């Protein structure tokens, strides 16, 4: 710039400038000499730099430079530049009088006269600290923003109000596989061959620009070229640049494809899981199995979004398939009916017959002939899943899914189908088993109804499976299906504990029985014999409990009657014995008197009596003696049962010796021989009674000898059942078989009065043996001899 002015005279110009400069308070204007000495002052110097005129003039311009600039020779460089180039503009830090620094923008201008001689240098400077600070802050902010934008992982776009891309970050190019050239300054809708020209995007951007300022979490699903199907989450915001009033849009993208996909998968899985549960529930219900299957198929159709689901059975030859039932989504018709397996094509029918799991995504691309695919398509089938049901290794039925459009079956689809089919088939099997069980239970029930026993069958949980009611039988619970075991046990009243124990035993595979009183269905109390037994399945596992109550009232009352009679008999026997004892005892003394007096008369008056009278008198004496013996025997018999038995260790050799002592006269009279075959054992018993026992038996053996045969008696013993059996064998006349049982009865005799006897000897023997806990019996042959046996307990080992 030149200071020359053509219009005004030079003096006026100088005056004008002086005036102007003195008014400039927001700029420091001053002159310096070539050596840097300050030559002039204006009020701006004091305002900006803090120097008064007298402190200022004559100083070196160095004072306003910072230490660093001075060290770098900046004042000199600036002057040199101004001299050389005419002016030296700069923005730098300067120092005030008080030492503080500030940013100044200024220019040093060389002033020359017309000849070009340097007059002075003029400096104009302004405090631009605030502007400078703002600029720096802005620059920092921009750098910061740029680094943020570029480091943000999500793709970002900045668009202008015409939706032209102003800038995009690195991530945007990377994620969408685009280049800067192809994107920047292009309309968003035009980039990548108008691939971004999406109605949803139009709507979103218009909304941000004109209505909402910002939009959050806008989902955009699109097949982007090169990167495939993606789900993007868009966040957009309108940015207004202050001052410039220009509008731009910031658009951030987040790729949520994976997250969304796994969310969808999770949801789909949940839905399928719920469908399986629903099928399970459905199939657990009771009712017609066909309609249960069909409503489960409906669930399959809606869950997998297939066109049709159904089931069919195969004939034994494997040639014909009967579709028993199906359910569709409303777009296809039912195909219930019969079909020839071979019509489905060789490949399919072969695999089908082998019982393979088959999935076909498109029947057209599956190797089939035109005729075969026409067969499929006539049934509106393009894609298939076929699940076989094998029974004993043979295909017997199948469940299928059809899609009228080609469909790629996923692993999850097939898993779902397998699980659904498992549930359906197991219900079918259960239903079949149940039908069989019902039939067999029906059969059992009809048999049971004709049995006189009261029967009920429970399962192991105590639920009633079968029962029958009839008058005169036990009133069984009727509520089939309910748990009745508790009720059943209680119904046995006082025998409840036994009933419960029997149930527990049956559950464990044991049969138990008990007796109890309970009323019949018509209220009549009866005695029952109850048998509780397990019923087994084919694998010998208890599955049911059978309870069988048999009316034993009659048997029980007969038993009770017998017990009562036996008791009565025992009592009257005892009373009789007591009476016999008293009578025998009381008879003894008059009898002794009678026989004494008769003998006295016989002795004193024998001579005076006629022969006839004498014989009569002798008869009286003899009868009295016999009666005396009878009374004595009777007493002895009655005696045996009285009082407690004296039990001690008794040596039977001693017993035999004592018995033989008492029989001595008799034995000698008959010339009898008594031979103990072995050394006899010791027993537990009453020695007096045991002597009596042997004495009676040996006495009889001698008494009933055969005429003309010398009596021989053998006494022996053998060990048996922890005790001993003794025998007394004779060679006498023997006893006919028909009398052998009778001879032990009191007063029973087989002989007349020719052989003296009372008929009580063997009765006494039997009582003695019985009291010792043993038994007596005879084995005999007429004209050969008799052997009397008796058993006695041995001495316990101490
Ligand atoms: P008693 O000998 O007093 O008649 P028992 O009670 O001892 O009474 O015997 C009953 C009957 O059994 C006898 O009358 C006799 O006929 C028959 N008897 C007993 N022992 C023998 C025997 N060893 N041999 C043949 N008969 C016998």
Query: What one-character-per-residue DSSP string does 421-469 give?
Result: HHHHHHHHHHHHHHHHHHHHHHHHHHHHHTSSSEEEEEETTSBEEEE--
pLDDT over 80 (residue 564)? yes
Would the CB of 743 count as within 6 Å of ligand 1?
A: yes
133-147, 313-327, 380-394, 526-540: least confidently modelled range: 133-147
Residues 6+ apart with CB under 8 A from 165: 157, 158, 159, 183, 184, 185, 186, 187, 188, 191
Exposed / middle / buried, residue 252 (Cβ in 10 Å: 0-12, 13-18, 19+): buried
pLDDT in tens, 747-787: 888 888 788 888 889 999 999 999 998 999 999 999 999 99
750 CA to centre of ligand 1 in angstroms = 7
Residue 244 has pLDDT above 60, yes or no: no
Pocket test for ligand 1, best of 704, 740, 769 (most atoms within 8 A of CB): 704
| Residue 746 CB less than 6 A away from ligand 1 | no
Report the distance separating Cα 769 and Cα 791, nearest Å: 7
pLDDT value at 733 more than 90: yes
pLDDT for residue 169: 86
d(CA 46, CA 97) in angstroms, rounded, equals: 9
Q: What is the pLDDT of residues 571-590, one digit of tens each?
A: 888 887 788 888 888 888 88
- The Å distance, Cα 602 to ligand 1 centre, comes to 32
Q: Is the CB of 758 under 6 A from ligand 1?
A: yes
Q: What is the DSSP string of 353-392?
A: HTT--EEES-TTTSS--HHHHHHHHHTT-SEEEEEEEEET
Reply yes or no on whether the pLDDT at 333 is more than 60: yes
pLDDT value for 589: 84
Predicted TM-score (pTM) of the model is 0.40
Look at residues 296, 289, 298, 302 and name the one whose alpha carbon lies nearest to residue 327: 298
User: Which residue would you say has higher pLDDT here, 408 or 152?
Assistant: 408
User: How many angstroms from the chain centroid is the CA of residue 304?
Assistant: 30
CA distance 416 to 482: 35
Count of CB atoms within 10 A of residue 262's CB? 11
Q: Is 704 in the pocket of ligand 1 (CB under 6 A)?
A: yes
Strands 712-720 and 673-676: parallel
Using CB atoms within 10 A of its CB, is residue 774 exposed (0-12), middle (13-18) or buried (19+)?
buried
| Nearest atom within ligand 1 for CA of residue 764 | 6
The answer, yes or no, to whether any atom of ligand 1 lies below 6 A from the CB of 751, is yes
Over residues 33-47, mean pLDDT:
91
Question: Given pLDDT bands bounded at 50, 70 and 90, which one contains residue 690?
Answer: very high
Q: Is the CB of 127 under 6 A from ligand 1?
A: no
% of the chain with per-residue pLDDT over 90: 31
In our burial notation (b when 16+ CB lie closer than 10 A, e otherwise), range 324-334 reads: eebbbbeebee
Is the alpha carbon torsion for 11, 14, 18, 19 positive or negative?
A: positive
Tokens of 489: 């046990």
CA separation for the pair 319, 627 (Å, rounded): 109
- Report yes or no: 208 and 214 within 8 Å, Cβ to Cβ: yes
Residues in the chain: 798
- Least confident range of 227-236, 357-366, 574-583: 574-583
Q: How many CA atoms lie within 13 A of 462 on its CB side?
A: 12
């Amino acid at each position: 710039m030149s200071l020359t002015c053509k219009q005004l005279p030079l003096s006026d110009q100088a005056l004008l400038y002086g005036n102007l400069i003195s008014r400039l308070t927001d700029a420091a204007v001053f002159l310096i000499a070539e050596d840097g000495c300050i030559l002039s002052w204006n009020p701006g110097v004091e305002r900006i730099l803090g120097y008064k005129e007298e402190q200022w003039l004559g100083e070196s311009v160095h004072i306003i430079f910072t230490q660093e600039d001075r060290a770098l020779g900046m004042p000199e460089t600036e002057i040199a530049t101004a001299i050389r180039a005419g002016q030296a503009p700069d923005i730098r830090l300067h120092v005030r009088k008080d030492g503080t620094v500030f940013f100044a923008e200024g220019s040093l201008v060389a002033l020359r006269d017309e000849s070009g001689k340097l007059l002075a240098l003029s400096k104009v400077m302004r405090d631009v600290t605030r502007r400078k600070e703002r600029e720096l802050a802005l620059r920092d902010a921009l750098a910061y923003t740029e680094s943020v934008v570029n480091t943000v992982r999500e793709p970002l776009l900045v668009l202008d109000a015409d939706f032209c891309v102003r800038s995009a970050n690195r991530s945007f190019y990377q994620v969408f596989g685009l280049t800067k050239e192809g994107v920047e300054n292009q309309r968003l809708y035009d980039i990548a061959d108008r691939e971004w020209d999406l109605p949803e995007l139009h709507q979103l951007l218009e909304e941000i620009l004109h209505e909402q300022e910002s939009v959050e979490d806008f989902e955009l699903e699109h097949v982007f070229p090169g990167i495939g199907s993606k789900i993007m989450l868009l966040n957009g915001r309108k940015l207004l640049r202050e001052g410039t009033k220009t509008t731009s849009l910031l658009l951030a993208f987040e790729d949520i494809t994976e997250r969304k996909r796994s969310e969808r998968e999770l949801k789909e899985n949940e839905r399928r899981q719920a469908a399986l549960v629903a099928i399970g529930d459905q199939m657990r219900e009771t009712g017609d199995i066909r309609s249960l299957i069909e409503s489960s198929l409906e669930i399959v159709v809606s869950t997998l979004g297939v066109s049709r689901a159904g089931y069919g059975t195969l004939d034994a030859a494997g040639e014909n398939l009967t579709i028993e039932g199906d359910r569709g989504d409303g777009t296809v018709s039912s195909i219930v009916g019969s079909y020839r397996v071979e019509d489905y094509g060789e490949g399919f029918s072969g695999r089908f017959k082998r019982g393979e799991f088959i999935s076909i995504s498109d029947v057209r691309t599956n190797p089939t002939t035109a005729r075969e695919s026409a067969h499929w398509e006539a049934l509106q089938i393009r894609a298939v899943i076929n699940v076989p049901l094998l029974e004993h290794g043979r295909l017997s039925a199948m469940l299928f899914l059809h899609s009228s459009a080609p469909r790629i079956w996923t692993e999850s689809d097939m898993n779902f189908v397998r699980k659904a089919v498992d549930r359906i088939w197991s219900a079918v099997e259960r239903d079949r088993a149940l039908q069989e069980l019902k039939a067999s239970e029906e059969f059992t029930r009809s048999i049971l109804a004709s049995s006189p026993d009261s029967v009920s069958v429970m399962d192991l949980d105590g639920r009633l499976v079968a029962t029958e009611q009839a008058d005169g039988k036990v009133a069984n619970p009727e509520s089939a299906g309910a748990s009745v075991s508790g009720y059943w046990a209680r119904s046995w009243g006082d025998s409840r504990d036994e009933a419960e124990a029997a149930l527990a035993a049956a559950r464990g595979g044991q049969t138990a029985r008990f007796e109890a009183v309970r009323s019949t269905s018509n209220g009549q109390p009866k005695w029952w014999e109850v048998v509780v037994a397990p019923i087994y399945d084919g694998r010998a596992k208890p599955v049911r409990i059978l309870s069988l109550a048999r009316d034993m009232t009659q048997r029980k009352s007969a038993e009770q009657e017998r017990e009562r009679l036996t008791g009565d008999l025992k009592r009257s026997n005892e009373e009789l014995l007591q009476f016999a004892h008293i009578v025998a005892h009381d008879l003894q003394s008059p009898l002794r008197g009678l026989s004494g007096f008769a003998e006295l008369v016989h002795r004193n008056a024998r001579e005076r009596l006629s022969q006839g009278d004498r014989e009569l008198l002798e008869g009286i004496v003899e009868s009295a003696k016999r009666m005396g013996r009878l009374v004595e025997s009777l007493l002895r018999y009655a005696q045996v049962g009285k009082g407690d038995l004296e039990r001690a260790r008794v040596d039977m050799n001693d017993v035999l010796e004592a018995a033989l002592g008492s029989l001595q006269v008799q034995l000698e009279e008959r010339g009898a021989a008594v031979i103990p075959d072995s050394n006899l054992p010791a027993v537990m018993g009453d020695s007096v009674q045991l002597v009596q026992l042997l004495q009676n038996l040996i006495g009889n053996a001698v008494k009933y000898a055969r005429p003309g045969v010398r009596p021989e008696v053998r006494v022996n013993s053998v060990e048996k059942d922890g005790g001993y059996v003794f025998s007394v064998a004779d060679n006498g006349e023997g006893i006919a078989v028909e009398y052998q049982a009778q001879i032990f009865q009191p007063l029973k005799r087989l002989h007349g009065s020719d052989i003296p006897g009372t008929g009580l000897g063997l009765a006494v023997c039997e009582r003695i043996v019985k009291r010792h806990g043993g038994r007596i019996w005879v084995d005999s042959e007429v004209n050969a001899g008799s052997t009397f046996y008796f058993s006695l307990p041995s001495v316990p080992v101490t």
